[in-house]
Amino acid sequence: MASDTGVPIDAHFTHCYDDFVLDVDLALPAKGVTVLYGQSGSGKTTLLRCLAGLVHAPGGVLSVDGEQWQGDELFVPTHKRPIGYVFQEPSLFEHLTVEGNLNYAQKRVDLADPSDSVLSSNEVIELLGIENLMQRKPNQLSGGEKQRVAIARALFSQPELLLMDEPLASLDTQRKREILPYLEKLRLELKIPIVYVTHSIDELSRLADWVVVLDQGRVVANGSLADVLTALDSPMQLDDAGVVLETTIRSREAQWALMRVSFIGGELLLADNGRAEGETLRVRVDARDISLTLSQHTDTSILNALPATVIEISACPSQDAVLVKLGLGHQSIAALDESKVIDEQSEASRDSSEMLLSRITRRSAEHLALAVGSQVWAQIKSVAVLR
Amino acid sequence: MDENLAAIWLTLRLAATVTLVLLLVGTPIAWWLARTRVWFKGAIAAIVALPLVLPPTVLGFYLLLTMGPNGPIGALTQSLGIGLLPFTFWGLVIASCFYSLPFVVQPLQNAFEGIGERPFEVAATLRAGPWDRFASVALPLAKPGFITAAILGFAHTVGEFGVVLMIGGNIPGVTRVVSVQLYDHVEALDYGQAHWLSGALLLFSFVVLFSLYTFNRRASSSVGPRV
């Protein structure tokens, strides 16, 4: 089924235990990071365990890259699935050294063609910076080091699918900051798909290419990062409305210690973080950091103001505020409709990162007489550089 | 004095054999008890633990009957041409195995339970099949449990008396173990010999327990489940 439609991970599970019901029917992309996002109890870990075969949900159907892992009569046990799994707690074998833990994985891999390997042993060890830990026992490692070894161990088993269950949740803020850069490197270096469970909007913003939002065992949103973040009816909007933009560093304004970055739809000035021109930066703009004006202001301290067109307005649950979805650039309503048609025809080809979200008071929206098609200037008060 | 040494040698031989047999038999039982969720698990656990509370003479009495000429085990051994087991070394081994079973199974069971589910899940995600998981995860992680089980099984077999008397009688070099020898000395009012033997057993028991506690403290402060 999966090979026919070109859908790489095709999962259908209905699983009940106690009073919890997991009911999902999902198609996930074959590359990049898919984040399963949701509050605790939303079923995201259970879903991940179903993918790994650690939970056997009777009646479930799962195929990965055209290979059936679970079906009518079929259930491939965990140890026969080509996965790597990183648990929430590092879970190293306490009786083995770091090297022993890595060898445990390596010994059990049977690679017909060594060039099929995801990453070579040395690459993995270097990528995760564990060269100097090899002879230590797990109880001589910090929490962050343990988790890095656990990730390395998962990669040593040459997985075709990497599953990560809140790998940072058991760590304090300091350790999280220590590990996130490694995860970001992984995302860039690995050719295999990663399914990453988290309830942290920060990790989601930094790592996700594709997002599945779960609530009480059901999928409430499933789409690209930009699509899910800018869908006004998405459950993400309650507290954390905002968008993530992939930008490229273009030039520097050295005298002001600023740098100019561009993205589809516009340019931004950011504080210079010393990265080289041409590098990509992922930035997050929170909806509450964008205010709207009807004309372009030049007498303002705001650095970044972009022309935009109102695409959609929705009320926030808090009554006093509204959430405004903006398309960048000043466009006519006709053009908007046109882009919608194109949108429907080729959903995938369109990159929605030219959207912004603005959270303003209902009073302001009324005062500016905002409506779909209104042309405004989005004043961006702050931009968070994610990486 | 020679008799004492013969008794000590027999006792050590018996205890070593029983410990070995029990580690082989007790490991699967403990593993099963630690992992199973069947409803009759409680009943099996109770049967294994029975020798903890049962007077050894009761156990010895039933074993004597089953291994005797009219008992099922007796009939079996006779038909196999082995003859009857009571009043032989191997009869003692079998009886002692029953008697010391809980002292081996329970530390092992605790050790296996102490590992938890996670290391096995980790091993499965690293391509280890069920037997591989047992050998590469369960056995090494339960090592402190195995050491405790071996020491307890050995020491407890050395100290038995009632079962031996019922099933083995008092045959020099065959079934006359240290505790029975000691009883003989006292009955004969030979307190000198009795002192010698008692002192040796006292020292032995202390050394065993001391090393056990020392080992356990070390083990629990580094890795592994506590027993």
CB contact under 8 A, A54 and B124: yes
**% of chain A surpassing 90 pLDDT:** 36
Which of A78, A81, A92 to mutate to probe the B interface, most B CBs <10 Å?
A: A78
DSSP A118-140: SS-HHHHHHHTT-GGGTT--GGG
Residue A113 — very low, low, confident or very high, per pLDDT cuts 50/70/90? low
Q: Which two tokens stand for residue A207?
A: 């790592």
Q: Given this model, what pLDDT does residue B226 score?
A: 38
CB contact under 8 A, A79 and B136: no
Contacts made by residues B180-188, CB under 8 angstroms, sequence distance 24+: B180/B7, B181/B3, B181/B4, B181/B7
Q: Which residues pair with A281 in a beta bridge?
A: A247
* C-beta of residue B98 within 8 angstroms of C-beta of residue B48: no
Number of domain units in chain B? 1
Residues shown for chain B: 227
Residue A2 — very low, low, confident or very high, per pLDDT cuts 50/70/90? very low
> What is the Cα–Cα distance from B28 to B26, expressed in whole angstroms?
6
Q: Given this model, what pLDDT does residue A237 score?
A: 60
* B215 Cβ contact list (under 8 Å, min separation 6): B144, B147, B148
How is chain A split into domains, by residue range? 9-237, 245-332+353-380
> What is the Cα–Cα distance from A193 to A36, expressed in whole angstroms?
13
- Which chain B residue shows the shortest CA-CA distance from A49? B121
Rg, C-alpha atoms of chain B: 20
* Residue A66 in this model has a pLDDT that exceeds 90: no
Closest by Cα among A368, A350, A349, A348 to A358: A368
Q: Given this model, what pLDDT does residue A316 score?
A: 72
- Which chain B residue shows the shortest CA-CA distance from A103? B126
Core vs surface per residue B23-47: b (16+ CB within 10 A) or e: beebbebbbebbeeeeeeeeeebee
* Residue A131 in this model has a pLDDT that exceeds 70: yes
Which parts of chain B have pLDDT scores under 70? 1, 219-227
| Sheet arrangement for strand A304-315 | A290-293, A375-380, A304-315, A321-328, A355-361
Is residue B66 less than 8 Å (CB to CB) from chain A?
Answer: no
* C-beta of residue A211 within 8 angstroms of C-beta of residue A220: no
Using DSSP's 3-state secondary structure scheme, residue B117 falls into coil
Structural element, H or E, at residue A355: strand A355-361
* A208 Cβ contact list (under 8 Å, min separation 6): A33, A34, A35, A37, A196, A225
Mean pLDDT rounded to a whole number for chain A: 84
Q: Which fold has domain A245-332+353-380?
A: OB fold (Dihydrolipoamide Acetyltransferase, E2P) (2.40.50)
> What is the Cα–Cα distance from A267 to A248, expressed in whole angstroms?
9
CB contact under 8 A, B128 and A87: no
- Which of A66 and B102 is assigned the larger pLDDT? B102
Does a structural domain hold residue B227?
no
**Residue labelled with tokens 């006093």:** A320
- Which chain A residue shows the shortest CA-CA distance from B144? A95
pLDDT tens digit string along A183-222? 888 888 888 899 999 988 888 888 999 999 998 899 988 9
Number of Cα atoms under 13 Å in the Cβ half of residue A260: 8
Q: Given this model, what pLDDT does residue B110 score?
A: 95
The domain of B55 spans 2-222
- Which chain B residue shows the shortest CA-CA distance from A163? B125
- Which of A252 and A335 is assigned the larger pLDDT? A252
- Which of A244 and B216 is assigned the larger pLDDT? A244
Is residue A157 less than 8 Å (CB to CB) from chain B?
Answer: yes
> What is the Cα–Cα distance from B92 to A346, expressed in whole angstroms?
83
Q: Count the Cβ atoms, other than its own, within 10 Å of residue B18.
A: 27
Name the CATH superfamily housing domain A9-237. Answer: P-loop containing nucleotide triphosphate hydrolases (3.40.50.300)
**% of chain A surpassing 70 pLDDT:** 88
E strands, chain B, are none
Q: Given this model, what pLDDT does residue A1 score?
A: 36
* Residue A177 in this model has a pLDDT that exceeds 90: no
ipTM: 0.79
Is residue B129 less than 8 Å (CB to CB) from chain A?
Answer: yes
Q: Given this model, what pLDDT does residue A99 score?
A: 95
Q: Please report, for the domain that includes residue B165, its CATH number.
A: 1.10.3720.10
Q: Given this model, what pLDDT does residue A235 score?
A: 63
